[in-house]
């Protein structure tokens, strides 16, 4: 499959677009931001006016939007992706969504003779890890495209399981960030430079906390959204996650306290605010 449609040109989508165009794919894009669309055009991408027309031009449709709500918006309706699908196409959802979203759209795509996989991603030092849920056949079809954007592409189970593993990843990341933020403030309150935690104890404190680089990491609002999916999944499966429930409330409070463009490292700022009022 060499004709790819990409919906969403945010941080991830722009990376996908660049990699796909560099490696010879024919790319059609769609985004709500005209500046992002112009950027993709300047690299050689074509532009579609609607998700339906993008689907009609593509063998594979790559989704890179914020969450379940946005996936539903581009898939549904007279101008949605589903309206443009015919037999033999493949939808690859790299967005982080609730697993039920992907189960639903795999069924809808199957009714139209097309395939669907959920393929959320996470950054590591070496690049992106892609966690894929879907049938073995659809995974095999998606892998040549996903190999272009990820250094590690793993088939983790049926559709929805990519999102479930991403939920585990986000749970760990959120709890780690909260613990490190608290540890740094605790150390400072006791009279230590937080760097001593790394130097003396040989523990890997995140650079965003150690170096006070609060521009790093993903958007706070998106991680908060992901924590909402985690809480929902825990309720649905009757899994106790008391620590994560507390971290979810911390993210909620930070989101209300901060500005819309705050990254996850805003948790550090929130902790400092709590301690500045001692």
144, 129: one domain: yes
133 strand-pairing partners: 118, 157
58, 146: one domain: yes
* Residue 261 banded pLDDT, cuts 50, 70, 90: confident
208, 226: one domain: yes
Please give the structure tokens belonging to residue 33.
């931001």
Dihedral over Cα of 167, 72, 48, 106: its sign:
positive
User: What is the reported pLDDT for 197?
Assistant: 83
Of 158, 188, 207, at which residue does a domain stop?
Answer: 158
User: In angstroms, rounded to a whole number, what is the distance separating the alpha carbons of residues 114 and 275?
Assistant: 54
User: What is the reported pLDDT for 211?
Assistant: 56
Parent domain of 185: 164-276
Of 158, 176, 211, at which residue does a domain stop?
Answer: 158
Please give the structure tokens belonging to residue 271.
């902790």
Longest dimension (CA), the chain: 66
The pLDDT of 216-236, averaged and rounded, is 88
**Average pLDDT of the residues of the chain:** 92
Give me the CATH number covering residue 229.
Answer: 1.10.1040.10
User: What is the reported pLDDT for 268?
Assistant: 81
User: What is the reported pLDDT for 265?
Assistant: 74
pTM, 2 dp: 0.92
pLDDT-wise least confident of 3-7, 149-153, 218-222, 256-260 = 256-260
User: In angstroms, rounded to a whole number, what is the distance separating the alpha carbons of residues 56 and 20?
Assistant: 19
125, 175: one domain: no
185, 245: one domain: yes
How many domains, the chain?
2
pLDDT-wise least confident of 71-75, 107-111, 125-129, 233-237 = 125-129
User: In angstroms, rounded to a whole number, what is the distance separating the alpha carbons of residues 98 and 183?
Assistant: 31
User: What is the reported pLDDT for 263?
Assistant: 78
Of 126, 158, 190, at which residue does a domain stop?
Answer: 158
pLDDT of 277 higher than 60 = no
Q: Look at residue 125 and give its three-state secondary structure.
A: coil
12, 144: one domain: yes
User: In angstroms, rounded to a whole number, what is the distance separating the alpha carbons of residues 6 and 19?
Assistant: 12
């Amino acid at each position: 499959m060499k004709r790819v449609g990409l919906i969403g040109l945010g941080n991830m989508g722009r990376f996908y677009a660049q990699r796909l165009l560099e490696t010879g794919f024919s790319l059609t894009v769609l985004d709500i931001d005209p500046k992002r669309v112009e950027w993709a055009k300047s690299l050689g991408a074509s532009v579609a006016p609607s998700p339906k027309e993008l689907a009609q031009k593509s063998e594979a449709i790559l989704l890179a939007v914020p969450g379940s709500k946005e996936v539903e918006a581009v898939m549904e309706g007279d101008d949605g992706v589903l309206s443009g699908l015919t037999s033999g196409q493949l939808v690859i959802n790299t967005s982080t969504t609730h697993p039920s979203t992907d189960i639903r759209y795999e069924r809808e795509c199957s009714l139209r003779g097309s395939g669907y996989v959920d393929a959320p991603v996470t950054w590591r030092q070496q690049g992106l890890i892609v966690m894929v849920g879907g049938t073995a056949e659809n995974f095999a079809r998606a892998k040549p495209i996903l190999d272009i954007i990820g250094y590690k592409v793993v088939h983790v189970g049926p559709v929805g399981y990519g999102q479930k593993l991403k939920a585990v990843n986000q749970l760990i990341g959120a709890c780690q960030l909260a613990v490190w933020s608290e540890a740094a403030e605790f150390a400072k309150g006791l009279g230590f430079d937080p760097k001593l935690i790394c130097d003396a104890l040989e523990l890997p404190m995140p650079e965003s906390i150690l170096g006070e680089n609060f521009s790093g990491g993903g958007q706070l609002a998106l991680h908060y959204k992901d924590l909402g999916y985690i809480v929902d999944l825990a309720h649905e499966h009757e899994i106790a996650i008391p620590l994560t429930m507390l971290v979810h409330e911390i993210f909620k409070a930070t989101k209300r306290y901060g500005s819309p463009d705050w990254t996850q490292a805003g948790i550090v700022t929130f902790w400092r605010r709590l301690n500045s009022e001692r």
